Amino acid sequence: MQHNKYLKWLAVAATIGMLFILIGGALVTKTDSGLGCGRNWPDCNGSLIPQEITTAVLIEFSHRLVTGVVSFFIVALVVWTWLKLGHIKEVKFLGFNAVFFLVLQALIGAAQVLWGQGDFILALHFGISLISFTAVLLLALIVFEVDQKFDADKVFIDKKLKWNIIGVTIYSYLVVYTGALVRHTDASLVCPDWPLCRNNEPFSLPYNMYEWVQMGHRLAVLVIFIWIAIITWHVVKNYKEQRVIYWGWIIAFIIVILQIAAGMLVVLTKLNLIVALLHSLLISLLFGLFCYMILLVYRSNQNQK
């Protein structure tokens, strides 16, 4: 029991730590602090500990420091779960993804500092970190035996819902990428109005690439909102007896509404930092929830067998 208790604490620490990495990366981008330590990595402006502290140095160096510390938590969690829970098929797969994508996002970040990267490559950075976060989150849910608490061994998902869960999860990753592209191309405020780029010109097309990027992201968000609403309506109508499915999709619908509201406020508040970070946090939680639903699809397939 003592081992289980400490393992749970480690799972919580690793999951929260990954959230800090995600939000810290978003903070670096939104404050344009990526070169706070100059073209130096892993040192900062030529020294292991920065000698001159500016806002950009503090943000960039803190992000690197948090990533380094949390990496130890994640590796420890992966090794411990492999040893204690290796009989659960998903554990090794999730553990590999958690470490692999954590290292990959760190290498992309280092490459950006040392040599610079194009906007379309940089937009992948957040998405890669998101995969690592999701893998850690799912490991934590397994450690806390969430499946047993919600009777996942009795979950049955019909074919139509299965394909919608898989489809909306994959599509949500595209939405994440378009949102990251908005940030990295500095297109966040290129459209002065919301929901249209210019509300007084409802039928005009975007004038330039930046407006296309911004409006493409808004269109992608509209599609996912409608898709989630349809899935939620189907689940509420047909899955009242399966709590984990029923409440999971209600929560997903609430999160996507909050996500859209945060996106609107990002524009209306002219990139308020707290709102912008909340926007990143909400999409991270939504994607994590989608991936848990994918895990439940797998559970359903096993139950049918």
d(CA 61, CA 79): 28
Q: Which amino acid is at 67?
A: T
**What's the pLDDT at 225?**
97
234 is an annotated ligand-binding site residue: no
260 and 254 Cβ atoms separated by less than 8 Å: no
d(CA 265, CA 16): 25
> Among all residues, which ones are annotated catalytic?
60
70 and 21 Cβ atoms separated by less than 8 Å: yes
Q: What is the pTM of this model?
A: 0.90
d(CA 227, CA 217): 15
pLDDT averaged per 10 residues in sequence order, the chain, 305 residues: 78 95 88 84 84 89 92 96 89 94 88 74 84 95 82 85 96 93 88 92 89 95 97 95 92 97 93 91 95 92 78
Classify each residue of 184-217 as buried b or exposed e, where b means 16 or more C-beta atoms within 10 Å of its C-beta: bbebbebbeeeeebeeeeeeeebeeebbbbbbeb
Q: Which whole-number Å values give the CA distances from 210 to 115, 119, 184, 213, in the listed order?
A: 24, 12, 11, 5
224: its two tokens: 């996912």
279 is an annotated ligand-binding site residue: yes
Instruction: Using alpha carbons only, give the angle 155, 97, 25 rounded to the nearest 5 degrees.
Output: 110
**What's the pLDDT at 118?**
67
**What's the pLDDT at 100?**
95
Domain ranges within the chain, ordered by starting residue: 1-144, 152-305
